[in-house]
């Protein structure tokens, strides 16, 4: 079985792939989300282990994903998500367009906003949800 015949099933695996240079962050996270949404019985396990650190933005993003998914799906919020990814000191706006900042501030879910990450309300949506 090749590396890409299996989607990452945990946030730990997402980060491992990124750090190993096997896959970029965005595609790896999208594949994780695909797996998360279609495997309801393994959702808690998918977010419960603390991933390694990458950098301030990605660490904050991973922690926000864990917290947001836990809240949306009624899972236990992982303890590590409170301390992981707190190194971001300047706001990060997804998309990079100045004209989107107001929309992103208004739409960004709480788990992202409190970490200075501003994303669209459907940042974690996938076609097969």
Q: What is the pLDDT of residue 1?
A: 38
Q: How far apart are CA 13 and CA 7, in angstroms?
A: 9
Burial of 94-122, coded b for 16+ CB within 10 Å and e otherwise, reads eeeeeeeeeebeebbbebbbebbbbbbee
Residue 13, in any domain of the structure: yes
Domain membership flag for residue 108: no
pLDDT at 79: 97
Domain count, the chain: 1
Q: Quick one: pLDDT at residue 2?
A: 45
Q: Which residues pair with 118 in a beta bridge?
A: 93
pTM summary value: 0.90
Q: Does residue 121 form part of some domain?
A: no
- Does 56 reside within a domain? yes
Spatial distance between the Cα atoms of 121 and 4, rounded to a whole number of angstroms: 28
For the range 73-76, what are the long-range contacts, defined as Cβ-Cβ under 8 Å and sequence gap of 24 or more? 73/40, 73/43, 75/43, 75/44, 75/47, 76/44, 76/48
pLDDT in tens, the chain (129 residues): 344 568 999 999 999 999 999 999 999 999 999 999 999 999 999 999 999 999 999 999 999 999 999 999 999 999 999 999 899 999 999 877 677 888 888 999 999 999 999 998 888 888 765
pLDDT value of residue 38: 93
Which structural domain range is residue 23 located in? 3-89
């Amino acid at each position: 079985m090749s590396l890409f015949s299996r989607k990452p099933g945990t946030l730990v695996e997402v980060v491992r792939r990124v750090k190993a240079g096997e896959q970029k962050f965005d595609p790896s996270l999208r594949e994780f989300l695909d797996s998360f949404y279609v495997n309801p019985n393994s959702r808690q396990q998918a977010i419960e282990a603390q991933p390694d650190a990458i950098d301030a933005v990605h660490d904050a993003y991973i922690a926000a994903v864990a917290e947001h998914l836990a809240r949306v799906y009624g899972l236990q919020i992982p303890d590590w998500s409170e301390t992981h990814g707190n190194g971001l000191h300047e706001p990060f706006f997804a998309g990079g367009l100045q004209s989107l900042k107001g929309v992103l501030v208004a739409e960004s879910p709480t788990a992202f906003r409190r970490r200075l990450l501003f994303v669209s309300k459907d940042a974690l949506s996938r076609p097969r949800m």
